[in-house]
Amino acid sequence: MAEISKKEASGFDYDIGYLQNIVHDILKQATGLGASSAEAAVSSLGGYSVTVRKGEVETIEYNRDKGLGVTVYFGQRKGSASTTDFKPSAIKTTVQAACDIARYTSSDEFSGLADASCLATEIPELELYQPWSVTPEQAVELAVQCEQAGFAVDKRLTNSEGAYVSTHSGQRVYGNSLGFTGGYASSRHSLGCTLIASANDEMQRDHWYSMSRHPGRLEDVQSIGRKAAERTVQRLNARKLSTCKVPVIFSADVAKGLMGHLVRAVSGGTLYREASFLLDSIGKPIFADFISMDERPHILQGLGSAPFDSEGVSTKPRNLVEGGVLQGYILDSYAARHLGMQTTGNAGGVHNLHVNSTGQSLNDLLKQMDRGLLITEVMGQGVNIVTGDYSRGANGFWVEQGEIQYPVEEITLAGKLEEMFRGVQAIGNDVDQRGNLVTGSWLMDVMTVAGS
């Protein structure tokens, strides 16, 4: 491999052309060692985060990472190796290691590169790289302002777990021996605060945060601090409930967890292992007929946007659920071959999965529910994707006559995901955009609430 000069450009340690040349040389070496096909990914990442607590700096953490991985195929025998060293000698050793591994692995009829016909032929510009020129000193000041804005809301806010500012950027290049090479830069910035309130020998904590690829789209630091404070104070004087069966609203940030369970249940690795309660569900209703979910991979500056997946397959908008009916699965090439299907461009996960709103505000949902629970936090790992059993600890608010009455804690929600999905009554317009799964609050039919 020829030595290629390192270049400082656009705030990165390496020019993206340098990373592309590394990928090309890896593929050339792999095929030169007898591999029938190969793929490689190279990345370079960097950024920092600061944390303050009670006005004092707690941490300033810088990170700068790079790495490369290579996968080779000898027929349908596969070998993989990786390194963080970009020296030609280290790369040569890594490629050799992958080839050595492949020679001793068993043949797998489903292994191999993505089909050439599925690879991206155009790389759309999605504006994913939006650098933030904030200095660590400025970041500290923003975090201090955020925390101070929270403390100013209520004198019962007596402590803090800290406020933080984080900014990170990176470049990634992927290529394979079918002739595909693609790469792009991206950024991600966030601000957040967690506060603690005390009253009558009781302590409660809560938080708020903002996240965006573009620093100009981050929520104002004072607003973040105030929301963290208001959420924390609202939890004081929490009560316990007796066991009951009532309707439930999952707040938007908690409802994302339900979307995550759905994604797992319809993902290829779960399905070909027959470890999902939604086996053989394509074309079948899994929600009420007013609910649809669609994937939007090409949203400009979207947190889940990507021009191609981690196999080089082009990403495309598509409906996952339409009129309540499951339209397809979430597949990479390996899982697709297991299932006799074609990849959906989801190697590495979904890309901006949106749930359509039925138009109501959160207050409208509370009035529609009339009496029940608003869930604002869940905890524990009591979700079984094989059976659909759902059992998680929760905190939230008791609602009567469409109005929040008081906070509740130490309760457990129990149900079956299949029944919970079918029991969704409405989706709010209070959409939480902070991430790859995008939804408003979910009003659910009756669930079992275990209390004291």
Strand partners, 383: 390
How many secondary structure helices (H) and strands (E) does the chain include?
9, 17
pLDDT attached to residue 11: 66
Gap between the Cα atoms of 447 and 416, Å rounded: 9
Length of the chain: 452
**Domain membership flag for residue 55:** yes
pLDDT attached to residue 269: 96
**Domain membership flag for residue 342:** no
Residues 145 and 249 in one domain: no
**141 Cβ neighbours under 8 A, 6+ residues apart:** none
Residues 222 and 196 in one domain: yes
For the record, the structure tokens of 208 come out as 């708020």
**Domain membership flag for residue 11:** no
Given the DSSP bridges, would you call strands 442-450 and 318-322 parallel, antiparallel or unpaired? unpaired
- 237 phi and psi, to 5 degrees? 65, 40
| Inter-residue long-range contacts of 435-438, CB under 8 Å, 24+ positions, other chains counted | 435/211, 435/256, 435/303, 435/304, 436/303, 436/304, 436/349, 436/350, 436/351, 436/352, 436/353, 437/256, 437/259, 437/260, 437/263, 437/304, 437/350, 437/353, 438/352, 438/353, 438/354, 438/355
pLDDT attached to residue 13: 86
**Domain membership flag for residue 23:** yes
Residues 56 and 187 in one domain: yes
| E strands in 177-262 | 181-199, 202-212, 244-250
Per-residue pLDDT in tens (0 to 9) along the chain, 452 residues:
222 223 333 468 899 999 999 999 999 999 999 999 999 999 999 999 999 999 999 999 999 999 999 999 999 999 999 999 999 999 999 999 999 999 999 999 999 999 999 999 999 999 999 999 999 999 999 999 999 999 999 999 999 999 999 999 999 999 999 999 999 999 999 999 999 999 988 999 999 999 999 999 999 999 999 999 999 999 999 999 999 999 999 999 999 999 999 999 999 999 999 999 999 999 999 999 999 999 999 999 999 999 999 999 999 999 999 999 999 999 999 999 999 999 999 999 999 999 999 999 999 999 999 999 999 999 998 999 999 999 999 999 999 999 999 999 999 999 999 999 999 999 999 999 999 999 999 999 999 999 87
| E strands in 228-371 | 244-250, 293-295, 318-322, 325-326, 353-355
For the record, the structure tokens of 259 come out as 């979307």
Residues 181 and 248 in one domain: no
**431 Cβ neighbours under 8 A, 6+ residues apart:** 252, 357, 438, 439, 440
Domain range for residue 85?
A: 16-234
Gap between the Cα atoms of 381 and 389, Å rounded: 11
Gap between the Cα atoms of 174 and 353, Å rounded: 23
**Domain membership flag for residue 263:** no
Residues 444 and 417 in one domain: yes
- Structural domain count of the chain: 2
For the record, the structure tokens of 150 come out as 């929270």
| Burial environment of residue 216 by CB neighbours within 10 A (0 to 12, 13 to 18, 19 or more) | exposed
How many CA atoms within 13 Å lie on the side-chain side of 225?
Answer: 25
Distances from the Cα of 403 to the Cαs of 168, 232, 369, in angstroms? 41, 19, 10
For the record, the structure tokens of 340 come out as 């006799």
**Domain membership flag for residue 88:** yes
Is residue 204 within 8 Å of 156, Cβ to Cβ? Answer: no
**Domain membership flag for residue 328:** no
CATH number of domain containing 98? 3.30.2290.10
Gap between the Cα atoms of 40 and 36, Å rounded: 14
SS3 408: strand
Residues 95 and 204 in one domain: yes
pLDDT attached to residue 285: 98
Gap between the Cα atoms of 10 and 16, Å rounded: 10
pLDDT attached to residue 9: 35
Residues 160 and 248 in one domain: no
330-356 burial, b for 16+ CB within 10 Å, e for fewer?
Answer: bbbbbbbbbeebbbbbbbebbbbbbbe
pLDDT attached to residue 185: 97
pLDDT attached to residue 413: 96
Residues 136 and 248 in one domain: no
Residues 146 and 127 in one domain: yes
For the record, the structure tokens of 164 come out as 């933080």
Identity of the amino acid at 97: A
| E strands in 200-273 | 202-212, 244-250
Nearest Cα neighbor of 366 from 247, 451, 202 is 247
- Would the pTM count as exceeding 0.85? yes
Residues 140 and 250 in one domain: no
Output the DSSP codes for 68-79: EEEEEEETTEEE
Q: In 3-state terms, the chain is what percent helix, strand and coil (to 5)?
A: 25, 40, 35
Strand partners, 330: 267
Residues 198 and 164 in one domain: yes
**Domain membership flag for residue 383:** yes
pLDDT attached to residue 200: 87
Is residue 120 within 8 Å of 310, Cβ to Cβ? Answer: no
Residues 194 and 72 in one domain: yes
